[in-house]
Chains A and B, each alone.
Chain A
């Protein structure tokens, strides 16, 4: 996993609540058995006027000019500003994969759906929760100022605006640690191998029906 420390980047905003994972990456692209290459199909149905197909070259597809990420001023955006309940719906990790593959490193919003939020930490995409009133302000500032950039500073847990204003955000200690180091969580868990084995042995004794039934 890519480590995340401090990232400064161009901000684009998707101004609607309840953006679901079907919107972020439509189902036909979930047929891929790879972890990468989803970026060209991020927000496929909002971004293009035709129906996208897996494996297709997207460079000559008709673009929906009204969609925010197709506007020239947001080209190269790497921080996504969102509204409430972003990432609701399915558990597909393909959603954060697609955002990361497109070039996003952080996503800022007033609230996120649980599974999406959790998945982001596993792949090096930082979800940041800020108060609704702050997000409202950021949306206006982004719209009013072409080239608007934010700095997302994970060690200090702040989002810094171009004028130097800072907004603190909460992040869970474990998730923060993994992102800062770009850690392999499996390796970390396997450090507790003996604890897991001891738990398992006790459980096998107490609840024998859980073990060995599926062959």
Chain B
């Protein structure tokens, strides 16, 4: 009999009941809640007179539509200027208090974007099933969690039963061997993968990322990659446990200690695919072939190396793709045949659950240090992913580097990734963004997003247009992945 994949092992460990109709109940170890996708679920519980199954599996924080402005933020929840946003954040506070769920309040140490705060607090740990009403929950797969986004009806279901009704997915392996060149980051790796397999390439699959590039990558870098599994169509993205994984969690707030820690580590060390495990699909890329990536269109698969040229619709023979290119170029206000490096940039966003961790802040600061934002750029938002990232960055003096370069250093939250608060693009504005989606209107009605790594975003801010961070400055040496 063939061995098991990491996904098979996690599935088997959490299977409560396989039902005759093909569905299964799996047990959920961690449920992370935020203000946007939880109110209707809590309301459902109240209407049905139900209580959460247990409290110690849930953790909540507001992130999506809180202000990142320090003055507004200092005024507390009552200071949120938009009434609907204020009501939503208050509703989360009220629901957590009413049901007894641990919440990290808006200005409390520990608060942050759900997928930044979960790992840094050790609220999510290797081998867990983690769900959240947010599609980027795959982030927690970076340390071998079976983690995925769920809808609000499922949020209510998990609250009430600690289980999720689901079906087993297929196994997909993405191997990236070799080493990454200077200036090539985890973000570039995942964008290159999406460019290769497409935004529906992983539909119905749990992806495991393996190979030398991921072994050499930091845990934070692995989070960036797993975070965007959904942009490849897969709800789940994972990396096996190694020594780095275990080191990452030692001493974290909710991580075990003493004997229980040793017991946990012994279990975590088993969280790899067996050597004879069989995957339904295998995709292989070479680390050396990956260059810094930039999206030019309105889907994450519309991505090219920074050395590339925007495609011309007339060169495309497939009618559906041709229509897609035309639609994207029209929305983006770009012409086929233009070099990627000639794309102008009006605003820059450095943040989001994809790229707002301390290593991302350091990578951006390294490029920004001693330089000034181009006069043609209206705004550069640097938004740390959590209170802890903010505190660490300030302890390292990164905030000063950003401010001296002419960038805005903000309070933690989701910010311009989805523009639910005041941080948004104006119509027609181009943005070099470290977020995860370049959909039409995502960062503001009519806004034009170009997904890039933190180093590329910082370089674009200085240059005023997209620029290859590797040649940006002869002295620049990229962070090794």
Write the residues of chain A forming the contact surface with B, with a CB cutoff of 8 angstroms. Answer: 16-18, 20, 22-23, 26-28, 30-35, 45, 51, 54-55, 83-85, 88-94, 96, 111, 113-115, 118-119, 122-123, 172-174, 177, 184-186, 189-190, 192, 195-196, 199-200, 203, 207-215
Partner pick for A111 among B203, B230, B260, CB 8 A cutoff: B203
Q: In the complex, A211 Cα to B299 Cα: how many Å? A: 40
Which chain B residue lies CB-closest to A208? B260
Give the distance to chain B from A157, nearest Cβ to Cβ, in Å.
15
Is the pair B22, A189 in contact by a Cβ cutoff of 8 Å? no
Q: Is the CB of B22 within 8 A of A173?
A: yes
Query: What's the minimum C-beta distance from A26 to chain B, rounded to whole angstroms?
Result: 6
Interface 0/1 of B154-169, CB less than 8 Å to A:
1011001111010100
Q: A27-B418, A215-B56 are in contact. Are A119 and B160 (CB under 8 A)?
A: no
Query: Is the Cβ of A214 less than 8 Å from the Cβ of B135?
Result: no
Contact B16 A35 (CB under 8 A): no
What is the bound-complex CA distance between A199 and B17, given in angstroms?
9
Assembled-state Cα–Cα distance A114/B165 (Å): 14
Say whether A208 contacts B153, CB under 8 Å: no
Contacts of B85 in A (CB 8 A): 31
Q: Does B48 contact A (CB under 8 A)?
A: yes
A73 to chain B, nearest CB (A): 22
Q: Closest CB of chain A to B90's CB: distance in Å?
A: 10
| Residues of B contacting A: mostly | loop
B150 touches which one: A34, A54, A115 (CB < 8 A)? A115
Complex Cα distance A207/B21, Å?
A: 30
User: Contacts A88-B199, A186-B48; is A28 near B135 (CB within 8 Å)?
Assistant: no
Q: Which residues of B contact A23 (CB under 8 A)?
A: 439-441
What are 19 of the A-B contact pairs (CB < 8 Å)? A16-B324, A18-B200, A20-B299, A20-B437, A22-B440, A31-B82, A35-B40, A35-B43, A113-B233, A114-B235, A122-B153, A172-B22, A186-B157, A189-B160, A195-B25, A209-B260, A209-B261, A210-B128, A213-B122
Which residues of the other chain, A, contact B439 by a CB distance below 8 angstroms?
A: 20, 22-23, 89
Leading 9 A-B pairs by shortest Cβ distance:
A122-B153, A174-B23, A209-B256, A33-B39, A119-B151, A91-B149, A93-B151, A173-B21, A31-B84
Are B264 and A207 in contact (CB-based, < 8 A)?
yes
Task: Tell me which residues across on chain B come within 8 A of A22, comparing CB atoms.
Answer: 418, 437, 439-442
Contact of A189 among B161, B263, B324 (CB under 8 A): B161
- Determine the chain B residues whose CB is within 8 A of the CB of A113 once the complex forms: 200, 203, 233
CB contacts (< 8 Å) of A174 on chain B: these are 19, 21-23, 165, 167
Q: Is B323 an interface residue (CB 8 A)?
A: yes
Q: A196-B25, A213-B254 are in contact. Are A88 and B58 (CB under 8 A)?
A: no
Q: Which residue of B lies closest to A116 (CB)?
A: B151
Known: A30-B36, A92-B37, A196-B27. 18 other contacts (CB 8 A): A33-B40, A33-B87, A45-B441, A91-B37, A91-B149, A111-B203, A114-B204, A114-B235, A115-B149, A174-B19, A185-B153, A189-B161, A190-B161, A200-B162, A210-B57, A213-B256, A214-B57, A214-B59
Shortest CB distance A133–B (Å)? 13
With CB as the reference atom, state the residue of chain B lying closest to A51. B445
Chain B positions 52 through 66: 1 when the CB is less than 8 Å from some CB of chain A, otherwise 0: 010111110000110
- B16 and A54 contacting across the interface, CB-CB below 8 Å: no
Contacts of B156 in A (CB 8 A): 186
Report the bound CA distance from A45 to B167 in whole Å. 34
* A214 / chain B contacts, CB cutoff of 8 Å: 55-59, 102, 123, 254
Contacting pair A211 B56 (CB below 8 A): yes
Bound: A20/B263 CA distance, A: 43
Bound Cα distance A114, B234 (Å) = 8
Taking a contact as CB atoms closer than 8 A, the residue among B19, B57, B161, B235 that contacts A115 in the complex is B235
Cβ contact within 8 Å between B149 and A186: no
- Give chain B residues whose Cβ lies under 8 Å from the Cβ of A199: 16, 27
Q: Is B50 in contact with chain A by the CB < 8 A criterion?
A: yes
CA distance A55 to B157 in the complex (A): 28
What chain B residues lie within 8 Å of A173 (beta carbons)? 21-23
Determine whether B285 belongs to the interface, using a CB cutoff of 8 Å to chain A.
no
With a cutoff of 8 Å between Cβ atoms, the chain A residues found around residue B152 in the complex are 35, 93-94
Min distance, Cβ A19 to any Cβ of chain B, angstroms:
10
Residues in A whose Cβ lies below 8 Å from that of B22: 172-174
| Cα–Cα, bound, A207→B265 (Å) | 11
Q: Would A91 and B256 be within 8 Å (CB), given that A54-B84, A196-B163 are in contact?
A: no
Q: Which B residue sits closest to A123, measured CB to CB?
A: B153
B56:A212 contact, CB within 8 angstroms: yes
Give the CA-CA distance A189 to B386 in the complex, in Å.
Answer: 36
| C-alpha gap A84/B88 in the complex (Å) | 34
Say yes or no: A195-B17 contact (C-beta < 8 A), given A31-B84, A207-B267: yes
Kindly list chain A residues whose C-beta atoms are within 8 Å of the C-beta of B255.
209, 213
Q: Does B320 contact A (CB under 8 A)?
A: yes
B153 to chain A: which residues have CB within 8 Å?
A: 93, 119, 122-123, 185
Residues of B within 8 A of A122 (CB): 151, 153-154
In the complex, the answer to whether A93 meets B37 with C-beta atoms within 8 Å is yes
Q: How far is the CA of A28 from the CA of B102 in the complex (A)?
A: 27
Task: Report yes or no: A196 in contact with B161, Cβ–Cβ below 8 A.
Answer: yes
* Chain B 282-319 interface mask (CB, 8 Å, partner A; 1/0): 00000000000000000100000000000000000000
Q: Is B374 an interface residue (CB 8 A)?
A: no
Decide: A31 near B161, CB < 8 A? Known: A22-B439, A174-B19, A209-B263.
no
Contact B154 A203 (CB under 8 A): no
Q: Mark B4-20, 1 if CB is under 8 A from A, else 0.
A: 00000000000011010
**Distance in Å from the Cβ of B9 to the closest Cβ of chain A?**
13
Residues on the B chain within 8 Å of A211, using CB? 56
The smallest beta-carbon distance between A37 and chain B, in angstroms, is 12
* Chain B residue contacts of A32, Cβ below 8 A: 84
A212 to B254, CA, bound (A): 10
List chain A residues, Cβ under 8 A from B162.
Answer: 196, 200
Residues of chain A within 8 A (CB-CB) of B213 are: none
Smallest beta-carbon distance B80→chain A, Å: 11
Q: Which of chain A's residues have a CB closer than 8 A to the CB of B134?
A: 90-91
Contacts of B320 in A (CB 8 A): 17, 83-84
Which of A34, A172, A203, A207 has the most C-beta atoms of chain B within 10 angstroms of its own C-beta?
A: A207
